[in-house]
Structure 1
Amino acid sequence: MKKIPYHNKQIRDEAAEWAVLLDIGGLTPKAREALAAWLLISSKHVHELLLATTLYENLGEIPEKPALSIEVLLAEKAPEIIPLISNLPASHKSVLDKPTLASPTKPAWGRNIAAMLAFIVLGLVGLSSVLKPVTPPLSAMDQVTDIAFETVLGEQRKMTLEDGSTVHVNTQSEVIIRYEDTQRIVELIRGEALFDVAHDPSRPFRVLVGDTIVEAIGTKFNIYRLEDTTSIAVIEGKVAVETENQIIRHGVDTPRPSEDTPSGPTEFLRPNHNRLLLIAGQQAYVAKADKTVHVAEANIKAVKSWSVGQLIFEGDDLDTIITQFNRYNHRRILIENADLASLKLSGVFDVDDPESLIKTLELLGEVKVDRSDPAVIRLRTP
């Protein structure tokens, strides 16, 4: 089965979210401007929003008629529309006011964008009884207090927040986002996320992971929450880490921030507790049981490789490697021998291509593979 590219899937998901917001109604002026900006990105955004609104309108019915073109969909929606924005930038108006000639091979989608930017589709049927709640686009966060969303196995999602910060959420993860006047809070309930934070000293950006608090100081960092450990890797800038009664242990070769290094905002959620400052290239492992924090040098390429659909390993145990692949793929891999689990391996693999790993192991003569079970691939020593 042909895979849907991450980018196209994200556009489709965002279009579905906008369709639900349009059904609810009452978009604020800021949200309308956000929708206009989203539609201006490409014709694909216009196309997907029209399809999403039409699909939701016909839920429960399967009309026996041929597929409709974008032009036909726009014509059908004409009686059900209201102005989207009244203050479209002059640069956009000048482009949209110009007549566009259709080429023999491409549709005249400029006219479609003009129509979609001028109007919002309304008149959709009620969806609350048939649809699972969908997270609104985070550019319209002024309408809500908390935004909660999660990803399923193999799914990744990148969200842009109202201040320009981004949260890239990995597979099987769950986050809650809450923006307030004095602070920006993201709670990582489970899984992994990559944060790229817009600097704003007046509103500190804090990530809560259990009772561990991570505060960004104009930075880019990755957090991976496991059952017994949380890892925090700093890619750019600095972060402050605090866990109640934490004990900090530095690795032998781990550089320590100098005493003169500024520690960022002086007010912290628990100001009387110790703070650990991590700089770019460092990684902290916070043990859940005893709150011990171990600081080591981070393998930055490996830490952020998942965000581009890859896994990078450098001398990792096969057990660790298999665990990572199983996060992204429905057909699980099972190691049946303890000595095989400790096998060291290095390599770069696509997250959705475990066969490349298995073929590598077979070429090395390290494993015997059992594919008889369609749900599980079993590895054992030859």
Structure 2
Amino acid sequence: MNHDRHIPSEDDAITDAAAHWCMRLHADDCTAVEREAFGQWLAADPRHAEEYQAMLEIWDTADLLPRSAQVVPLPVRRPVATRQWRPFASAAAVALLALPLAGWVGWEQGWLPNSYQHFEASDHLRQVRLSDGSSVELNLHSELRFLNFKDERQVTLIKGEAFFKVTHDSSHPFIVHAANGQTRVTGTQFNVWKYEDQVKVTLVEGSVLVSSGGNAGGYRLGPGMQASYHKGDFEPELNQSDDYANSLAWRSGRLVLDNLSLGQALPVINRYLDKPLMLADDSTASIRISGVYSTREVERLVDTLPKVLPVYLTRSKDGSTVLNRIVPAPTRG
């Protein structure tokens, strides 16, 4: 796969990020840590600086930023090829320059949101309400942002896990973006779990349409179904699960591992660890684990694994904990 190819979904992610940074950097409560993170994001790709500059021009012209806000200057950049603005940017720029009521026009044309929200949960579960009336429960170490456009509601799950109860609006679809895929609904209850480039969608009520990066049409889920995909997958893997409630146990602070291989369990466990747990080899990955644990005490779970499984712990060069299978001694015959 050619990862250097510039695809529309990458453009959308960069636009979302530029909008996020534009808002945060002009907010009164913006922290030094956020500004440092912005600098790192800006330096990661020349397109980031281009998109941020375009966002500044559009929003400054529309007078959407506070009068007292200090414009965050961009660093001197290497020359880049002339950029063809997407219809979103060019049409918005023309409208904003031409009309006094630019913000209203941007909303009416579907270019600009009338509401932006950003939420994080660190070491506590958090329940939040979006501006459209939908509610979201955030798991530990989770983060998302919400933009309300005239023709659709957009959520980006940046990291972690969230349970959504979406206010029904058939003319105003609700779309959750995660790892180059999306879940599209009009009103329902569902869970989205994301770790690195992996995503799992669990439907509780109603129906949702799930698509991964390579499939524009998507697949419809019914209650009790799950869809899983990695970033770059052409289509998600679908499953009908009788015990899907295990995927929602985090809402009561529990991590349920029901006869999973360590290869399956580690992404779930690592979501709660500062440093990911590693597997020494495929043989170790095949060991199965069961149990119910507290999501607040996953670090302790790692320490107890050698007591309940045929494994021992070592450290890698970068300091990560590695699980190694204990190979039984050969029998003498």
Question: Following superposition, which runs of at least 4 residues in structure 1 exceed 6 angstroms of deviation?
Answer: 126-133
- Give the gaps of 5 or more residues in structure 2: 1-27, 36-112, 327-333
Aligned mates of 1:168, 1:324 — CA distance in 2? 18
User: Which residue number corresponds to residue 283 of structure 1?
Assistant: 226
Change (3 A) 1:145 1:163: closer
Cα deviation code 1:18-75 (max 9, x no counterpart)? xxxxxxxxxxxxxxxxxxxxxxxxxxxxxxxxxxxxxxxxxxxxxxxxxxxxxxxxxx
Aligned to 2:172: 203
Q: Does 1:145 align with 2:89?
A: no
Q: Contact between 2:229 and 2:235, CA under 8 Å: does it hold in 1?
A: yes
CA distances 1:85-140 after superposition (whole Å, capped 9, x unpaired):
xxxxxxxxxxxxxxxxxxxxxxxxxxxxxxxxxxxxxxxxx86688969xxxxxxx
> Could you tell me which amino acid in structure 1 is paired with residue 194 of structure 2?
R
Structure 1 position 238 matched with structure 2 position 207: yes
Change over 3 Å in CA distance of 1:309–1:242 after alignment to 2: same
1:328 aligned counterpart, secondary structure: coil
The amino acid across from 2:191 in the alignment is N
Counterpart position of 2:297: 353
Question: Higher relative contact order by CA 8 Å / sep ≥ 6: 1 or 2?
Answer: 1
Partner of 2:155: 186
User: In terms of Rg, which structure is larger?
Assistant: 1
Q: How far did 1:195 drift?
A: 0.9
The aligned amino acid for 1:352 is R
Q: Secondary structure at the match of 1:214?
A: strand
Alpha-carbon distance change, 284 to 355 in structure 1, aligned in 2, over 3 angstroms? closer
1-structure distance, mates of 2:306, 2:273 = 20
Q: 1:276 to 1:318 in 2, by over 3 A?
A: closer
1:194-273 to structure 2, matched below 5 A, reads 194-209=163-178, 211-243=180-212, 246=215
Tell me which of 297, 302, 315 is aligned to 2:240: 297
2:15 — aligned with what?
none
The answer to whether residue 283 in structure 2 is matched with residue 339 in structure 1 is: yes
The alpha-carbon deviation at position 342 of structure 1 amounts to 1.8
Over 3 Å counting, the alpha-carbon distance change for 1:165 and 1:336 in structure 2 is: same
Please give the alpha-carbon distance, in whole angstroms, between the structure 2 residues aligned to 1:156 and 1:146: 21
8 Å contact from structure 1 (residues 165, 198) kept in 2: yes
Letter in 2 for 1:197: V
Q: 1: distance between equivalents of 2:30 and 2:182?
A: 36
Q: Give the Cα–Cα distance (whole angstroms) in 1 for the partners of residues 275 and 211 of structure 2.
A: 38
Identify if the C-alpha distance between structure 1 residues 293 and 130 changes in structure 2 by more than 3 Å, giving closer, same or farther.
Answer: closer
Map of 1:36 onto structure 2: none
CA-atom RMSD, angstroms?
3.7
Mapped to 2, the partners of 1:129 and 1:213 lie a distance apart of 30
Q: Which amino acid aligns with 1:315?
A: N
Mapped contact 1:301–1:312 kept (Cα < 8 A): no
Which stretch shows the higher mean deviation, 287-296 or 353-362? 353-362
Aligned residue for 1:174? Answer: 143
3-state SS of the aligned residue for 2:232?
coil
Q: Deviation at 1:216?
A: 1.8
TM-score normalized with structure 1 length: 0.48
Q: TM-score, normalised by structure 2?
A: 0.54
Determine which of 262, 265, 270 is the counterpart of 1:318: 262
Secondary structure at the counterpart of residue 218 of structure 1: coil
- On the 8 A contact 2:180/2:231 being kept in 1, the answer is no
Q: Post-superposition shift, 1:307?
A: 2.3
In structure 1, what is the Cα distance between the partners aligned to 2:263 and 2:116? 37
In structure 2, the residue matched to 1:307 is 251
Q: Percent identity?
A: 28
Q: Which residue in 2 is equivalent to 1:157? A: 126
* Whole-Å separation in 2 of the counterparts to 1:243 and 1:344: 29
On the 8 A contact 2:132/2:148 being kept in 1, the answer is no
Shift of residue 318, structure 1, vs aligned partner: 1.8
Question: 1:379–1:145: structure 2 CA closer, same or farther, 3 Å change rule?
Answer: same
